Amino acid sequence: MTIKKFINTVFMTEILKGMALTFRSMLTPAITRQYPKVKRSAAAGFRGEHAFVRDPETGREKCIGCGLCGAVCPSQCIHIYTSEDPETHKKIVDRYEIELLRCVYCAFCVEACPVGAISLTENYEYADYSREALYMTKEKLLANWDKFMAGKKGEEYFKKFWHPQANDFAAYAGQAVFNHKPKVEGK
Amino acid sequence: MGEIEEKDIDQGKKLGTQELTLSMGPQHPATHGVLRLVLELDGETVTKCTPYVGYLHRGVEKLGENKTYFSALPLTDRLDYISSMSNNVAYVVAVERLFGIEAPERAKYLRTIMSEMTRISSHIIWLGTHALDIGAMTVFLYSFREREWLLDLFEQACGARLTVSYPRIGGVRNDVSKEWLDSLYRFTQEFPARVDEYETLIDQNRIWLQRTKGIGVISAEEAINWGLTGGTLRGSGVNYDVRKAFPYDAYDKVEFEVPLGSAGDVYDRYRVRMGELRQANRIIKQCIEQMPDGPVLAPDAPKFILPAKENLFKNMESLIHHFVLLTKGPLTAPAGEIYSAAEVPKGELGFYIVSDGTGKPYRMRVRAPSFIHASVLPRLCEGGLVADVIANIGTIDIVLGECDR
């Protein structure tokens, strides 16, 4: 035991072992990305910049101006201004604004919206030099939908990720059940 | 430069020596955040150490009183921001115990998996930064490789990497896919080899041993008296783990050991946390293998949990519940108080919630392990060398977001 300890001390075996490991990992492929050149695609359902869902039937936003998103927002960054249509007596959403600089990206607004009118896109590159660019208006939000979520992606988004499913047992038909058998450890 | 004369030496004796006051932080890179320590030094020896906290105070406890139980969840993400999933779980378990609702089995297993994934990602960031502070740089690079893997899994599961807000009162937000479980299972198979790699680098390294063995020693009795929890307590050999003592979620259904140290020094606490990495991996593996199917949100608590979205315009009660829950909170919440703790990577994170029967908590107190651990710093540092202050800050594993709340 003491001879072994002596050899370890003199030849610095533990340090050599560590250096062998670092040398080995020099030969493995690099895992770092050169970010601005090589971009990383966010996973489906990523909580990035907001978008307003454009209704394919009317071509306008789906929002009914109920104000639930503003009520549930933990950072209170959603501002909604509505008025009443004098003829049909329906609520009109005049202004719908989100302060991106205050938003915490919890996506409770998406969860709260009863009509599925707001979503978060997979866009994470929206840094800017001015505050105005990060103050989202209704038009900007609708443009975001066209840019990032239009088509099938937007439809799947609500089915897959934004669906509080308390009573909905039918949704569990295709549920993931793991059926790997536990591996027997060799001796 | 001339020769030193006799009278110069005499003058030095007359002037005497003076203690040096050194202000370390709040921008010091080794203080893991905005911790400020005022050290009084006699040469290299620390004679007095005073921690100052509060640079990251955001008033989470007060904010919690002004938000509904549902909306307060993202606040807990920002307590200990590198283990946000565990904080979420601790909060929702506290609220569930207060309301008397039970999450479905599948949700419990998912939350257990997520807590243990967080434990791994938090411990490897602790290991990397702790080793970096002491002078071993390579571990830092290797540990971030595995952390990236886990953060990618978080992103696929819930759409966010750091501030996840994934658990919900009465379950979790959404189910995970089979591919996700497969990917996590691959991780659990590869991870033990990665832990061996970290150990190859530093476990027997003579510099590491010199910097950690016999440094910051605290006895078991003293550790209990200081209120330490988590790996910091278990390094002194006290067998206390909230997961074993007061099981929540699926911890009573999985087998795991609680690694214990004996000497109570920096090295033993390091060994304990390395053991916890392996145990966390084991828990995840068991959870995946035992994973039951079923709903992920409690289906039988309509007054506390958001109803299914397609029912909103079919069912009047659902619509009313939806609006009331989101604007006023659960108005049928029972009045009372509860203290509920969970074992987060840092230690015991407790939530003391007083409910007065309205939709918002009357009081939400957070027992933050980092705050209590920061208070033990003077005890660990005083009498030691100034270089060991860095090792002591690393070993108590504090995050100032949680400390200042």
CATH of residue A60: 3.30.70.3270
Give the SS3 label for residue B90: helix
Contact A43 B201 (CB under 8 A): no
Decide if A30 is inside a domain. Answer: no
Q: Phi then psi for A10, rounded to 5 degrees?
A: -75, -45
Q: Where are the beta strands (DSSP E) in chain A?
A: 50-52, 78-84, 91-99, 118-120, 135-136
Q: DSSP letter at B398?
A: -
B316 has pLDDT over 80: no
> A131: burial class by Cβ within 10 Å (0-12, 13-18, 19+)?
exposed
The one-letter amino acid code at A14 reads E
Q: Is the dihedral of CA B325, B327, B332, B337 positive or negative?
A: positive
* pLDDT tens profile B66-110: 888 888 888 888 888 888 889 999 999 999 888 888 888 888 999
Please, what is the average pLDDT of chain B? 85
Distance from CA of A29 to the nearest CA of B (A): 12
Q: Please give, rounded to a whole number of angstroms, the shortest distance from the CA of B307 to a CA of chain A.
A: 6
Min distance B361 CA to chain A CA atoms (Å)? 15
Q: What is the pLDDT of residues A35-54, one digit of tens each?
A: 889 888 888 778 888 888 88
A11 in a structural domain: no
Is B70 close to A108, i.e. CB distance below 8 A? Answer: yes
Q: Do A166 and B295 touch (CB under 8 A)?
A: yes
- CB-based contact A177 B297, cutoff 8 Å: no
Query: Which structural domain range is residue A66 located in?
Result: 52-163
What number is the average pLDDT over the span B317-344? 84
Q: In Å, what is the CA distance from A28 to each residue of A21, A33, A37, A168?
A: 11, 15, 22, 47
Q: Does B7 touch chain A (CB under 8 A)?
A: no
Contacts of B155 in chain A (CB under 8 A): 42-43, 46
Q: Is B183 part of the contact surface with chain A (CB cutoff 8 Å)?
A: no
B140 touches chain A (CB under 8 A): no
Q: Looking at beta carbons, which residues of chain A come within 8 Å of B205?
A: 14-15, 18
| Residues 6+ positions from B41 with CB-CB distance below 8 Å | B19, B20, B21, B22, B47, B386
Per the domain annotation, does A136 fall within a domain?
A: yes
What's the mean pLDDT in A112-121? 84
Cβ pair B202:A18 closer than 8 A: yes
**What pLDDT, on a 0 to 100 scale, did the predictor assign at position B352?**
92
pLDDT at B2 (0 to 100): 56
Q: Residue B80 carries which DSSP code?
A: S
Confidence of residue B294 (pLDDT cuts 50, 70, 90): confident
CB contact under 8 A, B72 and A74: yes
Confidence grade of residue A33 (pLDDT, cut at 50, 70, 90)? confident
Number of domains in chain A: 1
Are B215 and B46 in contact by the 8 Å Cβ rule? The answer is no
CB contact under 8 A, B205 and A178: no
Given this model, what pLDDT does residue B20 score? 82
A63 within 8 A of A90, measured Cβ to Cβ: no
| B176 domain-assigned | yes
Q: pLDDT tens digits, residue range B36-55?
A: 888 888 888 888 888 888 88
Domain membership of residue B23 (yes or no) is no
Any idea how long chain A is? 187
Q: Which residues contact A39 (CB under 8 A, 6 or more apart)?
A: none
Angstrom distance (rounded) from CA A94 to CA A138: 9
Least confident among A97-106, B296-305, B350-359: B296-305
Q: Which residues contact B382 (CB under 8 A, 6 or more apart)?
A: B46, B47, B48, B49
Across the range A118-136, mean pLDDT stands at 86
H or E element, residue A38: none
First to last CA, chain B: 56
Q: Which amino acid is at B90?
A: A
For the residues B261-283, what does the mean pLDDT come to? 89
pLDDT exceeds cutoff 60 at B322 = yes
Nearest CA in chain B to A46: B159
Q: Considering only CB atoms, which chain A residues are within 8 Å of B312?
A: 114
Best of B69, B70, B85, B174 to mutate (most A CBs within 10 Å, chain A): B174
User: Is B53 inside any structural domain?
Assistant: no
Distances (CA, A) of B33 to A183, B81, B122, B128, B154: 42, 11, 15, 15, 24
Q: State the first-to-last Cα distance of chain A, in angstroms, to the nearest integer.
A: 26
Whether B11 is in a domain gets the answer: no
Domain containing residue B283: 58-404
Do the Cβ atoms of B280 and B83 come closer than 8 Å? no
How close B301 gets to chain A, by Cα (Å)?
Answer: 9
* SS3 labels along A108-155: HHHHHCCCCCEEECCCCCCCCCCCHHHEECHHHHHHHHHHHHCCHHHH
Cβ distance B328 to B343 under 8 Å?
A: no
SS3 state at A104:
coil
Alpha-carbon gap, residue B218 to A121, rounded angstroms: 50
Q: Does the beta-carbon distance from A182 to B201 stay under 8 Å?
A: no
What confidence score (pLDDT) does residue B13 get? 62
Domain presence at residue A3: no
Question: pLDDT band at residue A168, thresholds of 50, 70 and 90?
Answer: very low
Domain count, chain B: 1
- The alpha carbons of chain B give a radius of gyration, in whole angstroms, of 24
The CA distances from residue B101 to A38, B33, B98, B168, in Å, are 47, 37, 8, 12
Per-chain mean pLDDT for chain A: 78
Greater pLDDT, A184 or B286: B286
CB contact B107 to A (< 8 Å): no
Q: What is the pLDDT of residue B118?
A: 92
**Tens of pLDDT along A70-110?**
888 888 889 888 888 888 888 888 888 898 888 888 888 88
CA dist., res. B48 & res. B40, Å (int): 5
Q: Answer whether B293 sits within 8 Å of A17, measured CB to CB.
A: no
Supply B267's token pair: 């090295």
CATH code of the domain in which B141 resides: 1.10.645.10
**Residue A168 forms part of a structural domain:** no
The answer to whether residue B46 sits within a structural domain is: no
Q: Give tens-digit pLDDT for B1-32.
A: 456 666 666 665 666 677 788 888 787 777 77
Mean pLDDT of B260-287: 89
Q: How big is chain A by its Cα radius of gyration, in Å?
A: 26
The angle at the Cα of A63, spanning A60 to A64, to the nearest 5 degrees, equals 115
What pLDDT, in 10s, does the model give residues B151-209? 999 988 888 888 888 888 888 888 887 888 888 888 888 889 888 888 888 888 888 88
Domain membership of residue A90 (yes or no) is: yes
Tell me what the mean pLDDT of segment B101-125 comes to.
90
Rounded Cα gap, residues B258 and B276, in angstroms? 7
User: Quick one: what percent of chain B has pLDDT higher than 70?
Assistant: 96
Q: What is the DSSP track for B277-331? A: HHHHHHHHHHHHHH---S-SB-TT-TTTSPPPGGGTTT-HHHHHHHHHHHHT--T
Q: In the prediction, which pLDDT does A187 show?
A: 41
B24 found inside a domain: no
d(CA B340, CA B325): 23
CB pairs below 8 Å between A and B: how many?
Answer: 151
Contacts (Cβ under 8 Å, ≥6 apart) of B359 = B68, B69, B328, B329, B330, B331, B333
Where residue A162 falls among pLDDT bands split at 50, 70, 90?
low
Alpha carbon separation from B96 to A38, A133, B170, B171, B370 (Å, rounded): 44, 41, 7, 9, 24
Q: Is residue B366 part of a domain?
A: yes
Residue found under tokens 């293998």: B289
Q: Confirm or reject contact between B101 and chain A (CB < 8 A).
A: no
